[in-house]
């Protein structure tokens, strides 16, 4: 009787250990699969250094542009700026769930921004500036509430700026200049009270809706301007000088 209890305990402990280690392997293995999917969506002629570096022969943590961290180890940063890469972002990138920094600045990525980006809840920085992305800014980006920096400048994005951008209450820097965005700048942006810098220049935006109150009246680190803003110019950038109430417009 006692023996059989002990046996069961041993089996349970083994099952538990197996479960835990499978979860570990699965997580980093999932990251690897996601990055191999990304590689497969990059034109082979432009893979350059990735061609022989991003291979299953070495741990994903040793791949160029990849940083791992945490316990269990996961891919936490993907930093691939100015590498001449031409390709699209596959939905698999939505599996890189521990990612905090995602930069592909100054490449030739095209196609739309996958909705799966919104699964990356740990993201603090998205830098997709200077590429050829088309389509709309996914409203689901509003789910990335940890986001500090969102750089989408110099792409071919169209449509309106989603109202849901206002959910990004940790946003400090929003650069969406030089796209083909239209419509009003949503007044919900006033909710992003940590915003230090916004750049809307080089679009076809009609300004804030009438009677939009930007910023919040009080509280530490706010944009600090509770005044009405009605802007009629289609090209401008703003800089909020934290707490001081300064507002600079580039017309």
Binding site for ligand NAG (CB under 6 A): 30, 33, 43, 53, 58, 62-64, 82, 84, 86, 91-92, 94-95, 106, 108, 116, 118, 139-140, 142-143, 151, 153, 163-164, 166-167, 172-173, 175, 177, 182, 188, 191, 196-197, 199, 201, 204, 210-211, 237, 239, 250
Residue 243 near residue 218 (C-beta atoms within 8 A) = no
Nearer to ligand NAG, 164 or 223 (CB): 164
Q: Would you say 9 or 109 has its CB closer to ligand NAG?
A: 109
Over 45-69, what HEC string results? HHCCCHHHHCCCCCCHHHCCCEEEE
Q: Minimal distance in Å, beta carbon 108 to ligand NAG?
A: 4
CB closer to ligand NAG out of 6 and 250: 250
Q: What DSSP string describes 119-159?
A: G-TT--EEE--SSEE-SPPPGGGGG-TT--EEE--SS--EE
Tell me the helix, strand and coil percentages in the chain, rounded to 5. 30, 25, 45
Residue 168: is the preceding peptide bond cis (ω within 30°)? no
Distance in angstroms (rounded) separating the CA atoms of residues 79 and 95: 17
Closest contact distance (angstroms) between CB of 33 and ligand NAG is 5
Q: How far is the CB of 31 from ligand NAG (least distance, A)?
A: 9
- Whichever of 71 and 230 has its CB closer to ligand NAG, that residue is 230
| CB of residue 12 to ligand NAG, shortest distance in Å | 26
């Amino acid at each position: 009787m006692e023996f059989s209890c002990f046996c069961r305990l041993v089996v349970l402990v083994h099952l538990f250990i197996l479960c835990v280690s499978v979860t570990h392997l699965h997580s980093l293995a999932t990251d690897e699969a996601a990055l191999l999917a990304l590689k497969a969506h990059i034109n082979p002629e432009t893979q350059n250094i990735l061609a022989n570096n991003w291979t299953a022969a070495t741990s994903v943590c040793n791949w160029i542009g990849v940083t791992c961290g945490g316990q269990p180890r996961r891919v936490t940063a993907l930093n691939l700026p100015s590498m001449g890469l031409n390709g699209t972002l596959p939905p698999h990138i939505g599996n890189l769930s521990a990612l905090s920094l995602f930069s592909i600045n100054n490449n030739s990525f095209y196609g739309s921004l996958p909705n799966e980006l919104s699964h990356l809840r740990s993201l603090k920085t998205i830098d997709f500036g200077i590429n050829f992305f088309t389509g709309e800014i996914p409203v689901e980006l509003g789910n990335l509430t940890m986001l500090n920096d969102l750089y989408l400048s110099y792409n071919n994005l169209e449509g309106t700026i989603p109202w849901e951008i206002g959910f990004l209450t940790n946003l400090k820097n929003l650069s969406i200049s030089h796209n083909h965005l239209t419509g009003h700048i949503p007044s919900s942006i006033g909710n992003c009270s940590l915003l230090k810098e916004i750049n809307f220049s080089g679009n076809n935006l009609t300004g804030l809706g009438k009677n939009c109150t930007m910023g919040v009246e009080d509280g530490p680190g706010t944009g600090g301007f509770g005044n009405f803003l009605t802007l009629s110019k289609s090209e401008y950038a703003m800089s909020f000088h934290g707490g001081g109430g300064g507002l600079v417009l580039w017309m």
